[in-house]
Homo-oligomer: A and B are copies of this chain.
Amino acid sequence: MFSKACEYGIKAAIFIAVNSSEHRRVSPKEISEEIDSPQAFTAKILQALVRNDIVQSVRGAHGGFEIEKDKIATTKLSQIVFAIDGDNIYKGCGLGLHTCDENHPCPVHDKFKVVREELREMLENTTLEQLALDIKSGVSFLKI
């Protein structure tokens, strides 16, 4: 469904959010350990999140990654997915046609529309804050 990069990106953002809410910056090393992902690759994905203004980075000693408090509440899952995988997952044609719309639908266009719409809504209605809260309270998990 999502690329590995996107899976790591989502989990990393959640972990950063959890720690930022407790005023702790975290390093790629810490992040990759907590979300069980390759460190250098995760660092690349973090760069993408920084460029897309989803995560803040602080270079140098005592640096690390963090997310502003307001952003934790306002950032949607869709923004993270978009920053890494683009919007093809909930916008593109299910069978890869270049043009696929009501006038020129692929064979699964109508049936797919429902699923894609459900996915889009889910991504747009889920905030980093909600996901981080469940991790903090031990209701959900980032690895294993």
Could you list which residues of chain A lie within 8 angstroms of chain B, going by C-beta atoms?
A: 1-2, 4, 7, 10-11, 14, 77, 89, 92, 94-99, 104-109, 111-112, 114-115, 118-119, 122, 126, 131, 134-135, 139-144
Contacts and interface: CB of A to CB of B under 8 A. Distances in A.
Contacts of A142: 106-107
B107 A135 contact: yes
A4 to B, nearest CB: 7
A115 B122 contact: yes
A41 B108 CA distance: 22
Given A118-B118, A119-B115, A122-B112, A105 B4 contact: no
7 contacts: A1-B94, A98-B144, A104-B141, A105-B139, A106-B140, A115-B122, A118-B118
